[in-house]
A and B are shown apart, each in its own frame.
Chain A
Amino acid sequence: MSDILKLSPLDQQHRELGGRLVPFAGWEMPVMYDSIIAEHRAVRESCGVFDISHMGQVFVSGSNATAWLDHLLTNEVAALSPGNAHYTFMLNEQGGVIDDLILYRLGDDLYLLLVNASCIEKDVAWLEEHLEKGITLANESAEWAGLAVQGPKAPEIYTAITEGRTLPSRNGVDDLKHEGERLLVCRTGYTGEDGFEIFCPAGQASRWWQALLAADVTPCGLGARDSLRLEMCYPLNGSDLSPCRTPLEAGLGFFVASEKGDFIGSDVLKCQKEEGCTERLMAIEVTEERAAPPRPGYAILDEEGNALSVLTSGGLSPSLGKGIGLAYLPVARAEVDTVVSLEVRGRKISAKVVKKPFYRK
């Protein structure tokens, strides 16, 4: 691995806008432009755009691609019709999460895996290790740029910047030629708002970025992306998900098709389903007024002051004005309304377990 950070095709644009660039998963990406809170609000109330060019694009094709992917992923690939996408997990033999990803079915035998930037290499290595005759893998992560356009105004913005096109329906994907260049448009996102993600050749990124900014879309950084996803309790891989945690422990069994037949990790999940998990990823809300914001790594204590766990994610919710976080709790404590405290620099602040998600429209 090189120590040199990769630059987004939109690096120049980020610098011109005064973006604060930080290292993220081997890339130099903007954490914010002026204000995480203002960017967060723009997405909840209007529309924002995130550069997601760091994410990975792996194309899978072959007449047996559906069956092959069904063996490698938890959600039911055969049930996904062409032109649609779903959220899914790639697990190790122990049922732990290698990566969480969006699977786009572009055709009967053609798929796109949209994977986390930090996982591209290990995902591709895992796929290659399990490669079967007839399957073609193409890691095109370096050739593609991605923009996530999120917020209630996203559908009208799309129509405006494409001179009259309309978005596919929720979780739909259109594989288009726009002005002679390939454009993948997906009605998906990571913020809890309506919106879409576009993937285009890297050289086309600035064209779409400029068009979005000209349409008054707010440029948003990774800081707002994190606070938006945390309000929705969407997990962050490497923090809330890891190779030692299963999707069932993370409370994401909805994306595991346990009836579809065997897949890598399915025997462990079956056992866990029968016997029950020992820990569950729960949503924790600070109940004390004017308390310090919770941060990943802070200890969680029970009412007697015994250590229960640590936060895997945490921060101030701009929408709620409260501290929020996620943590794996022993099942005995993983009940809504359980009172806990968070340890912040030697002081205790009161908090409780709440229902997911934190934020509802």
Chain B
Amino acid sequence: MIAPVDLRYTREHEWIRLQGDIATIGITDHAQEELSDVVFVELPDLGDIDKGSPVAVVESVKAASDIYAPIAGEIIEVNMDLVADPAKVNTDPYDTGWIFKIRVNSPEQVTELMDAASYSGMVS
């Protein structure tokens, strides 16, 4: 299981990369391993979102899993590449397998999320 140190993590197995006030969000290596074979990603609608709201769905062969907004803000972009190639979530979860971007209301809240060491401890 890989968990890059420059990212933040949630209990729901999402990762957050903050650049300025833009947070890029995807699911962790551990999550994609658990799901296996991602065959469909239902991408979020653009617009304002509350922390903890279900915004997207990642579907493997066996099940559909909700993805929650890890932080409040405005969804400004979604990864359209996943429409044609949802398996990027498996093969490249921290880079080309990203799911959506949020312009966050309070960037400092991101630092309250788990760091890589805490997340690794949680899933081990």
Stretch binding the partner chain, chosen from A8-16, A30-38, A178-186, A259-267? A30-38
Q: Which among B40, B57, B61, B64 is the interface contact of A36 at CB below 8 angstroms?
A: B61
Query: Considering the complex, which residues of chain B in the window 51-105 have a beta carbon less than 8 Å from any beta carbon of chain A?
Result: 57, 59-62, 64, 83-84
Q: Is B39 an interface residue (CB 8 A)?
A: yes
Q: Is A277 an interface residue (CB 8 A)?
A: no
Chain B, 13-55, contact with A by CB distance < 8 Å: what is the 0/1 string?
Answer: 0000000000000000000001011011010000000000000
Known: A223-B61, A290-B83, A295-B64. A316 touches B39 (CB 8 A): yes
Q: Is the CB of B59 within 8 A of A37?
A: no
Q: Is the CB of A31 within 8 A of B57?
A: no
Known: A35-B37, A36-B37. A293 touches B42 (CB 8 A): no
Q: Is A75 an interface residue (CB 8 A)?
A: no
Q: Is the CB of A292 within 8 A of B61?
A: no
Q: Is the CB of B36 within 8 A of A36?
A: yes
Q: Is the CB of A293 within 8 A of B61?
A: yes
CA A318 to CA B61, docked complex, whole Å: 9
Known: A32-B36, A34-B36, A36-B37. A223 touches B42 (CB 8 A): no
Q: Is the CB of A345 within 8 A of B57?
A: yes
B99 shortest CB reach to chain A, Å: 15
Which residues of the other chain, B, contact A295 by a CB distance below 8 angstroms?
A: 64
CA A32 to CA B37, docked complex, whole Å: 11
Query: Considering the complex, which residues of chain A in the window 264-300 have a beta carbon less than 8 Å from any beta carbon of chain B?
Result: 290-293, 295
Q: Is the CB of A345 within 8 A of B61?
A: no
Q: Is the CB of A37 within 8 A of B83?
A: no
Query: Number of residues in A with C-beta < 8 Å to the partner?
Result: 18
Q: Is the CB of B57 within 8 A of A227?
A: no
CA A20 to CA B35, docked complex, whole Å: 10
* Chain A residue, CB-CB nearest to B60: A36
Query: Number of residues in B with C-beta < 8 Å to the partner?
Result: 14
Which residues of the other chain, B, contact A315 by a CB distance below 8 angstroms?
A: 61
A231 shortest CB reach to chain B, Å: 12
Which residues of the other chain, B, contact A292 by a CB distance below 8 angstroms?
A: 40, 42, 57, 59, 64
* Chain A residue, CB-CB nearest to B42: A292
CA A36 to CA B40, docked complex, whole Å: 15
Q: Is the CB of A35 within 8 A of B36?
A: yes
CA A36 to CA B38, docked complex, whole Å: 11
* Chain A residue, CB-CB nearest to B57: A345
Which residues of the other chain, A, contact B84 by a CB distance below 8 angstroms?
A: 290
Q: Is the CB of B40 within 8 A of A293?
A: yes
B72 shortest CB reach to chain A, Å: 23
CA A295 to CA B64, docked complex, whole Å: 9
Known: A290-B83, A290-B84, A345-B57. A36 touches B62 (CB 8 A): yes
Which residues of the other chain, A, contact B36 by a CB distance below 8 angstroms?
A: 32, 34-36
* Chain B residue, CB-CB nearest to A224: B61
B-side residues, CB < 8 A to A, are 34, 36-37, 39-40, 42, 57, 59-62, 64, 83-84
A-side residues, CB < 8 A to B, are 20, 31-32, 34-37, 223, 227, 290-293, 295, 315-316, 318, 345
Q: 6 tightest A-B contacts by CB?
A: A36-B61, A37-B37, A292-B40, A316-B39, A223-B62, A35-B36
Other A-B contacts than A292-B42, A295-B64, 14 sampled, CB-CB below 8 A, are A20-B34, A32-B62, A34-B36, A35-B36, A36-B36, A36-B61, A290-B40, A291-B40, A292-B64, A293-B61, A316-B40, A316-B61, A318-B61, A345-B42
Q: What are 24 of the A-B contact pairs (CB < 8 Å)?
A: A20-B34, A31-B62, A34-B36, A35-B36, A35-B37, A36-B36, A36-B37, A36-B60, A36-B61, A36-B62, A37-B37, A37-B61, A227-B61, A290-B83, A290-B84, A292-B59, A292-B64, A293-B40, A293-B59, A295-B64, A316-B39, A316-B61, A345-B42, A345-B57
